[in-house]
Amino acid sequence: MSIFGTMKTSVSGMNAQANRLGTVGDNIANSSTVGYKRSSTAFSSLVLPSTQGSYSSGGVETNVRYSIAEQGGIQYTTSNTDLAIQGEGFFIVSDLNGSPYLTRAGAFQKDSNGYLVNTAGYQLMGYPYGSNPPAAVVNGFNGLEAININDFGLVSSPSSQGSFPANLDKRADPVTVAANLPGANNATAVIGNKSSLTAYDHAGGKVLYDFYYTKTGTNTWEVAVYRQDQSTNGGFPYAATADAPTLVQQKVTLTFDPNTNKLKTTAPASANSITITDQNDGATPAQTITIDMSDMTQFSSDFTPGKGIIDGNAPSPITDVEIGGDGLVTAVYQDGGRRPIYQVALATVPAIDKLKPQNGNAYLPTNDSGVVTIGFPQSGAFGQVYSGALESSNVDIASELTEMIESQRVYTANSKVFQTGSDLMDVLINLKR
């Protein structure tokens, strides 16, 4: 047995316990850090070749492991931009240079430039929401951009579709003279039932459209639509004006099934929508608004217009932002309007615990972790996003204190081995004297 070898072995043991104590210290220091994942020290032995009758002591080496895949507790907050993930997945964030990282630290707040930034300074990434829901690029970070709320502060959205159901009174008297129908746009028009619907043009201006419902025969009705600001003293005829130089005039015929008193679906089927074409705001192509009327009925009851629903919004500042469990970021405007603006994406890797930790509870993919896969919350293997909540660290203080005491004891024992080896060396030196 080599005395020097014994001393070196004890030194490796003390170094190993010092590394272990370092991970314990990190865990305790970050026990209140949002999204922090505990680290631990794994030991492996180093064995040196020995000859018969002589043992060569080896040593011990350490390997730091991270419990990144282990879920932390969910704590609720008062900020709706605080985000937590329940289940698998990481938020995709970027630094000031635009480099992407993965993180579970979801304490995001809007900075002075309108970006959602967490406490480590990373910007939350997402897919911009256009006229259609975005699609995820599953094998890369292409298409993602930093979510900026200020970009949508005063953005209007023109109306393009809506619905306007109503019950038309089957007992109404029909208008049989074509010139007297509202669709003919004459001063002699017989006005039966009328209702109005507000829409928005490309500049966000409010435009009122008048809907006229007139019975033309057994189970048939005419629906005529005009732009209200083109009416003459609030009635017919409608005519172009200086503010609206092009006349808006559309009409369709509804046919009801006498057995169900709903729109006829068998041949010849009834029209079930009306498309308003309005080119008065100067946009190219002209604004078209399709109004769904498939829920219209014809019962022997008073005319009852239903709740009109239409998309679009007037220019209005954003007062709030809502983030759903599916990651949809919705801007809430001062006038009550709502608009989806981004879709938060999540990322994962096959070997989560092999990700490389970075400052600020961020991670980088490695060869050992595998290829990054990107998707949306609540789809596939990805978990759900909770707004107004944060994921706490997965550190157990009691376990860490236990490890600290154990590490201290083992370190002391290794030091005793070193001290004993040193004493033996003194004995050998004294023999020479």
C-alpha to C-alpha distance for 255 and 219, rounded to whole angstroms: 6
Question: Which of 250, 280, 310 is at the close of a domain?
Answer: 310
List the chain pLDDT tens, one digit each, 433 residues. 577 778 888 888 899 999 999 999 999 999 999 999 999 998 888 887 777 767 777 788 889 999 999 999 999 999 999 999 999 999 999 998 999 999 999 999 999 998 999 999 999 999 998 767 888 888 889 999 999 988 776 767 899 999 999 999 999 999 999 999 999 999 999 998 999 999 999 998 999 999 999 999 999 999 999 999 999 988 899 999 999 999 999 999 999 999 999 999 999 999 999 999 999 999 999 999 999 999 999 999 999 998 889 998 788 788 888 999 999 999 888 877 788 899 999 999 999 999 999 999 999 999 999 999 999 999 988 999 999 999 999 999 999 999 999 999 999 998 898 888 888 888 878 876 6
Q: What is the 8-class DSSP label of residue 23? A: H
**Pair 352, 259 in one domain:** no
User: For residue 1, what pLDDT is reported?
Assistant: 54
Instruction: Show the tokens assigned to 81.
Output: 């931009």
The residue type of 4 is F
**Pair 21, 55 in one domain:** yes
C-alpha to C-alpha distance for 32 and 391, rounded to whole angstroms: 10
Instruction: State the burial class of residue 198 (Cβ atoms within 10 Å of its Cβ: 0-12, 13-18, 19+).
Output: middle
- ∠ CA 298-300-303, nearest 5°, is 70
User: For residue 280, what pLDDT is reported?
Assistant: 95
**Pair 325, 366 in one domain:** yes
**Pair 232, 169 in one domain:** yes
User: For residue 224, what pLDDT is reported?
Assistant: 97
**Pair 28, 59 in one domain:** yes
Which H/E stretch holds residue 397? helix 397-432
**Pair 336, 412 in one domain:** no
Is residue 27 classed as helix, strand or coil in its secondary structure? helix
Which H/E stretch holds residue 15? helix 3-29
Residue spans of beta strands (DSSP E) within 113-165: 116-117, 123-128, 145-146, 161-163
Question: Which of 270, 289, 310 is at the close of a domain?
Answer: 310
**Pair 306, 322 in one domain:** no
Count other C-beta atoms under 10 Å from residue 294's C-beta. 13
**Pair 232, 326 in one domain:** no
Alpha carbon distance, N-terminus to C-terminus of the chain: 23
User: For residue 85, what pLDDT is reported?
Assistant: 96
Query: Could you identify the residue written with the tokens 């019962």?
Result: 299
**Pair 97, 228 in one domain:** no
C-alpha to C-alpha distance for 167 and 268, rounded to whole angstroms: 22
> Cis bond leading into 237, ω under 30°?
yes
90, 349, 355 from 368: Cα distances, Å: 17, 10, 8
**pTM above threshold 0.75:** no
Q: Which residues contact 320 (CB under 8 A, 6 or more apart)?
A: 80, 331, 332
Domain span including residue 428: 3-67+394-432
**Pair 53, 136 in one domain:** no
CATH number at residue 180: 2.60.98.20
Q: Are 145 and 125 in contact (CB under 8 A)?
A: yes
**Pair 398, 360 in one domain:** no
Q: List 230's β-bridge partners, or say none.
A: none
**Pair 12, 52 in one domain:** yes
| Number of compact structural domains in the chain | 3
C-alpha 153: how far from its chain's center?
19
Question: Which of 310, 344, 374 is at the close of a domain?
Answer: 310
